[in-house]
Amino acid sequence: MMAQLLNGLQYGLLLFLVSSGLTLIFGVMGIINLAHGSLFMIGAYVAFLVSKATGTLWLALPVGVLGGAALGALLEWTLFRHFAKREHLDQVMLTFALILLAEELRWVVAGSDFHSVPIPAILDFSVPVTSGFSYSAYRFAVIAICLVLALALFWWIERTRFGAVVRASAENPEMVDVLGLDARRVHLVVFAAGTALAVVAGVLAAPLTSVYPGMGDSLLIISFVVVVIGGLGSISGAFWAALLIGLVDTFGKAYGPSFQGTGALGTLLAALSGSSVYLLMIAVLLWRPTGLFGQRP
């Protein structure tokens, strides 16, 4: 029970790192980046390659942060800014093409096998929590790193002048131009930050999930659920929705199957438990069509 709670929290926080970038980029640029899951995959493969080359995961973190930010800036500068005013279909084509490109790149660099990534030696132990229960130190570290990143992101968006410009760009881009602020710079920085967050999430997740082809796809879909439940463009919405989804998904998968064989209702519950997050999304949208933290129209 305690383990599921911590697993759900840790999964939810990783989801937040991915979905916060997705929701920020959508809020500011109006683009839904389907390749956002591929950025997560790239992070995981960076972890795999770096730890294979150096014997430890640690170097992958700075590489992920800096490389992710550089990659994001490059993508925004060369591609995304030219698509911000194009039709949605063009944007879908662009971001879908990037998914294929990332998979191709992954195949060339690392092939199509599953690879495991070792947990860093100094965190490869269990922390006793209560007398009868202990929990992975690495997972605790992931929770801590994610919380620090989430706090830094909140502070940046909610408390700094640049963050105020980011919120202004999401709300009324025309007014930002009228005030003489260069929206292109805002887009570049937001895209770079969003990319870096997704890549870092991939690095952190690699030892927990192994790395494998298409590993970003399912995460992308869950991240969309998070963004929609939280309210498009809302950072705090994404945070609470990610935690909610992390817990619901973890508990659903852990306890859902145990209803099997307890009558018709039990069988139904067991069958639905794998889809608990989608049921949650439908419920939230029926209750609040713009998401938990979305602007009322």
Partner 1 sequence: MSPPLIDVRDLHVYYGASHVLRGLSLHVAPGETVGLMGRNGMGKSTLIRTIMGLVRPRAGEINVDGRPMTGRPTFEIARRGIAYVPEGRGVLASLTVLENLEIAARPGLDGARAWDLPRVLELFPRLGQRRDNRGNQLSGGEQQMLAIARALLTNPRLLILDEATEGLAPLIRDEIWRTIRLVREAGIATLVVDKTVHEVTAVADRVVVLVKGEMAFEGPPEALTADPDLMHRHLGV
Chain residues that interact with partner 1, rule: CB under 8 A: 161, 164-165, 167-168, 170-172, 174-183
Nearer to partner 1, 170 or 200 (CB): 170
Smallest distance from partner 1 to CB 158, Å: 10
Smallest distance from partner 1 to CB 85, Å: 12
Nearer to partner 1, 90 or 182 (CB): 182
Nearer to partner 1, 124 or 158 (CB): 158
Smallest distance from partner 1 to CB 295, Å: 8
Nearer to partner 1, 52 or 185 (CB): 185
Nearer to partner 1, 87 or 174 (CB): 174
Smallest distance from partner 1 to CB 155, Å: 14
Task: Please provide the DSSP assignment of the chain as one string.
Answer: -HHHHHHHHHHHHHHHHHHHHHHHHHHHH----TTHHHHHHHHHHHHHHHHHHHSSSTTHHHHHHHHHHHHHHHHIIIIIHHHTTS-HHHHHHHHHHHHHHHHHHHHHHH-SS-B--PPPGGG-SEEEEETTEEEEHHHHHHHHHHHHHHHHHHHHHHHSHHHHHHHHHHH-HHHHHHTT--HHHHHHHHHHHHHHHHHHHHHHHHHHH-B-TTHHHHHHHHHHHHHHHH-TT-HHHHHHHHHHHHHHHHHHHHHGGGGTTSHHHHHHHHHHGGGHHHHHHHHHHHH-TT-SSPPP-
